[in-house]
Amino acid sequence: MAEAVVSIVLEGLSNPIIQELKSLYGVPGKVQRAQTQLQIMQGYLKDADARQGHNEAIRIWVASVRDAAYDLEDVTETYVLKVAFKRKPNVLTWFTGIFIKAVNLYRIGSNIEKITTEISQLSSIMPSFNLHQTRESGGDTFFQRQQERRIAYPHIVDPHVVGDGRFLKEILTKLISPTNEQRQEIADLGKDQIAERLWYTQGERKCLVVLDDIWTSDAWSSLQAGFPMNEETGSRILLTTRNKEVASYVDKNGFLFELLPLDNDKSWELFEKIATEDTNHKIYEHKKELGMKMLQHCKGLPLAITVLAGLLARKDTVDEWIMVHKNVCAYIMRGTDFGPDCKGNGYEGVSWILELSYDNLPYYLKLCFLYLAHFPEDYEIPVSTLTKLWMAEGFISSASVEVMEDVSYMCLSELVGRCMVQVGKYGSSKKIKTCHLHDLMRDLCMLKAKEGNFVHIINYSAAVEIKQTPNGRVRRLAIYLDGRVEAYCLGREENYGHVRSLLYFSPEYFKFKDSKALRSLSNNFTLLRVLKFEHMDGRKCELPGEIGNLVHLRFLSVKDSDIVVMPSSIANLVCLQTLDLRTTSWDCKIPNGNVFSKMEKLRHIYLPPYDYVGVKRPLFATEAINLHTIVNICIQAYDLDDFVKLTNLRKLGVITFAEGEKKLEVTNIIFNHLQSLSVDSRFVDLAIPRNVVLSCPNIYKLRLRGHITKLPEDLLCLKNLTKLKLINFGDLKDDHIKVLEKLPSLRMLFASVGIFPASLVCSEGGFPFLEFLSLDYLGALKEWKVEKGAMPSLCILHIGDCYDLEAVPDGLQHITTLKELTIKGMRPEFCSRLGERGEDFYKIQHLQSVIITNIQASEEIKWEKELGPSNNKKSSVKRGFFILFYSFLCCVDFRRGDSDGDDGDECEA
């Protein structure tokens, strides 16, 4: 990892301001000498990283080089800020005074000299290790590299591997769909009482509980008390595990389905899909010969095959394949110990492939991959957040001509393409929305992160608190929280003084008492680049004024935290790229309109989501031309003319008021660069200003909250619009529906809280590309007909709380693409028509899944049909089999997650 760190530091040292250090404050040439020494060592560090596991002296040397590079970056960054402020004394007079008092210039100069001397000494002893020089095109841009390599991802197999918590309380909550009072009652129950209640719930009702990925017998033992295993009930349990012994331990008489390793033909079939696309027969045969030899070591394990194939997919020539084949043999001999959990489970053979795949990554991807070690096990990582974190850490070059956000996303795509990261969900634009790591790949990530002291994890959420002493200086810190609010207040400790990245992960509804933790961080961790303090609920508190001390911050998020006051000192955070102030407090306000005016590097800003009428209009820095995201901006207090200057703006969320409506109606501005737009009319009787929508011809995502007085034919000019949300839209007429069904690219439509025509007709040929349709809380809608040929691409239909609707639409039987139907909160008469003997069964009998929940008469039913006839004679499941359920939350788990696939951060609260 030292190779990656040194490469990133060297890139940062190319900053033009840093070059001025040669003539500033009596330190001429010292930074340049350190830079030269690091450049000399850079070519040898890849070999040193690979050999440090077998040579203690090399390991110590590598760690020293890594820390020295980090130290040089810390000191020079401090200089950069000082030089910038000295140039512009009017930019930050408050901070300049504090800075001069807090930092002695002679001391900084001495630190640079000390670090430079240390780097020179490390360079002088390098020849004694007999390291080999390795060159790679690490300096090329991502898109330059892609021109030299083909990139195709047809091999992304199994993109829906999702984990789940294994807590009895959560399972019970999902099964019974409790009211708020019942939730509190459950929260007060002891573990034995929870287990007892869960036991009886499954005995009294018909439930299907899926427990995914049980690793050990002990894990099952901790849950067993909640499940009636040997009782005659209508409930069933489906359990998956990697260990056959665990399956036998759970139920010796249960049905055991064992996945067998792939045979040679299936192994090659999977491998070929990923790794080879050669049309030249001779090259293909040579690669096949090499591939078959390497596949022998995969032992039929799909994960090993996909990882190896993902590695070779980036190797175009036969010579490159030969080199990998040679390395494969070396890795098999070397091996890797992944700990006792993998012993005897057949996964020891995959470890060498995983490590080989990691070592083959270019340095920038190694850092991106290791950053995933911050996130808890089974955590679905939002891609939008992850890519912003990579940018804030400096992993993505800002000197490139490509847009940083695009390069960052392509880095993720490359890790997915190498089968090192798995896709969780896709968004409406078919981009990756969430991702996660396979358990074994996460083991590798944690192992490499620990070896390189990349991140230190303090786990307060474990059954037994895990707070290991870090190995050396801590640069990045991840804290997993539970209910002990006092435990996470970090003090000034020697090993934490250089922390630059701090991410908090808390359970839902985590409570904290005050801002003591934030105040402590603001005073003691002044080198922070990243602070993620999200989902902190509880007593209202202030973001402390000391937050302004964190002048190195690139990423600051207090999203979904109970923050009521934003201090004016956030104006000091001039390095911010991402600022997320979407708190849960209704009365949270920005202090004044000028706090953002000096943030020249700002790219993404999310303002507090609630009303702030009367606040002075926010001003953004003139130099902040790279603003990509502005969310929750009040157009009553802002002139849209200023947005035209933001030529990189892709996502805009505006809140409209009366004056704002009049202003927008007369504007002739065209936002050709905008891709996502949200318009939120806060007054119930205020119509959506249609001109602002029509001024964004290239948007692919549109969210409208407020009355729609007219949907003009001009709306059809939105050729790229794939996702549309309509909320609180008032009375939608027939002619509105006719416009909607003609939208040329619409694939997802959400309509919630409004009035539809009493008799709705979807015309033949209407909604040609619509794949997902959701209708919730619609009044007046009584009859619905889908003409033959309408919605020919529909896959998922959701109908919820449409109380007047008498039946599912006539014509549904003609939509052969439809796979899922979910019904929520409808009348019993509506639901009863869908049974096998019901009047509407013929409309839905071709569907794979029908889910009915929250029937108004408090009866809930989930109906799920098999995809085809079963070959298992022991199976008791029949076509049309009914299972009683009592929670729509449980049903959501069966629907492969949220169908509302966004590309990341919505332009909304």
CATH numbers and ranges of domains, the chain: 1-135 (1.20.5), 152-250 (no CATH), 361-454 (1.10.10.10), 455-634 (3.80.10), 726-857 (3.80.10)
pLDDT score for 150: 32
Closest CA to 131 of 249, 46, 239: 46
Closest CA to 606 of 636, 576, 642: 576
Structure tokens that stand for 34 in this block: 């350190």
List, in order, residues 6 or more apart from 449 with CB less than 8 Å away.
Answer: 370, 373, 455
Residue pair 294/315 in contact (Cβ under 8 Å)? The answer is no
Closest CA to 541 of 525, 564, 524, 566: 564
Closest CA to 389 of 358, 363, 367: 367
Give the type of residue at 867.
L
862, burial (CB in 10 Å: exposed 0-12, middle 13-18, buried 19+): buried
DSSP conformation class of 485: T
User: What span, in angstroms and rounded, lies between the C-alpha atoms of 568 and 257?
Assistant: 61
User: What span, in angstroms and rounded, lies between the C-alpha atoms of 705 and 684?
Assistant: 10
Residue pair 826/805 in contact (Cβ under 8 Å)? The answer is yes
C-alpha separations of 516 from 344, 406, 529, 530, 581 in Å: 47, 37, 20, 18, 19
CB atoms within 10 A of CB 676: 25
Closest CA to 825 of 845, 848, 847, 851: 851
Q: Report the phi/psi class of residue 865: left, alpha or beta, with left for phi > 0 and alpha for psi in -120 to 50.
A: beta
Residue 703 has φ and ψ, to the nearest 5°, of: -125, 125
pLDDT score for 238: 86
Convert the pLDDT of each residue in 742-780 to its tens digit: 999 999 999 999 999 999 999 999 999 999 999 999 999
Cα torsion 654, 660, 666, 672 to 10°: value is: -10
Three-class secondary structure of residue 134 per DSSP: coil
Residue 787 has φ and ψ, to the nearest 5°, of: -65, 150
Half-sphere exposure of 45 (CA within 13 A, CB side): 27
Three-class secondary structure of residue 240 per DSSP: coil
**β 432-436/422-426 pair status:** antiparallel
User: What span, in angstroms and rounded, lies between the C-alpha atoms of 750 and 798?
Assistant: 9
Half-sphere exposure of 189 (CA within 13 A, CB side): 19
Convert the pLDDT of each residue in 136-161 to its tens digit: 533 344 434 433 333 332 322 333 32
CB atoms within 10 A of CB 594: 14
Closest CA to 450 of 436, 438, 466, 461: 466
C-alpha separations of 784 from 477, 779, 817, 833 in Å: 55, 13, 19, 15
pLDDT score for 702: 93
Biggest CA–CA distance in the chain, Å, is 90
402, burial (CB in 10 Å: exposed 0-12, middle 13-18, buried 19+): middle
Give the type of residue at 612.
Y
Structure tokens that stand for 410 in this block: 């392509």
The structure tokens 């606040």 sit at 615
Which residues are 850's β-sheet partners? 821, 863
Closest CA to 847 of 831, 824, 867, 827: 867
Three-class secondary structure of residue 782 per DSSP: coil
Which residues are 680's β-sheet partners? 655, 705
Sign of CA dihedral 813, 817, 818, 819: positive
Closest CA to 384 of 100, 560, 629: 629
Residue pair 769/791 in contact (Cβ under 8 Å)? The answer is no
Closest CA to 354 of 266, 460, 288, 446: 446
pLDDT score for 571: 92
List, in order, residues 6 or more apart from 107 with CB less than 8 Å away.
Answer: none
List, in order, residues 6 or more apart from 203 with CB less than 8 Å away.
Answer: 228, 231, 233, 235
Cα torsion 536, 161, 156, 143 to 10°: value is: 10
Residues of the chain with pLDDT under 70: 14-29, 80-108, 134-165, 167, 215, 242-243, 329-350, 398-401, 461-471, 483-495, 508-518, 538-540, 611-617, 636-642, 657-668, 682-687, 689-691, 857-909
Residue 219 has φ and ψ, to the nearest 5°, of: -60, -40
User: What span, in angstroms and rounded, lies between the C-alpha atoms of 288 and 309?
Assistant: 12
User: What span, in angstroms and rounded, lies between the C-alpha atoms of 354 and 349?
Assistant: 10
Residue pair 432/423 in contact (Cβ under 8 Å)? The answer is yes
User: What span, in angstroms and rounded, lies between the C-alpha atoms of 123 and 121?
Assistant: 5
Closest CA to 92 of 493, 701, 572: 572
pLDDT score for 24: 54
288, burial (CB in 10 Å: exposed 0-12, middle 13-18, buried 19+): middle
Radius of gyration over every alpha carbon of the chain, rounded to an integer in angstroms: 29
Print the SS3 string covering 398-415. CCCCCCHHHHHHHHHHHH
pLDDT score for 427: 85
User: What span, in angstroms and rounded, lies between the C-alpha atoms of 652 and 628?
Assistant: 8
User: What span, in angstroms and rounded, lies between the C-alpha atoms of 440 and 290?
Assistant: 26
User: What span, in angstroms and rounded, lies between the C-alpha atoms of 816 and 831?
Assistant: 22
Which residues are 422's β-sheet partners? 436
pLDDT score for 538: 62
Which pTM was predicted? 0.77
Give the type of residue at 400.
S
Residue pair 194/168 in contact (Cβ under 8 Å)? The answer is yes
Structure tokens that stand for 588 in this block: 């949270």
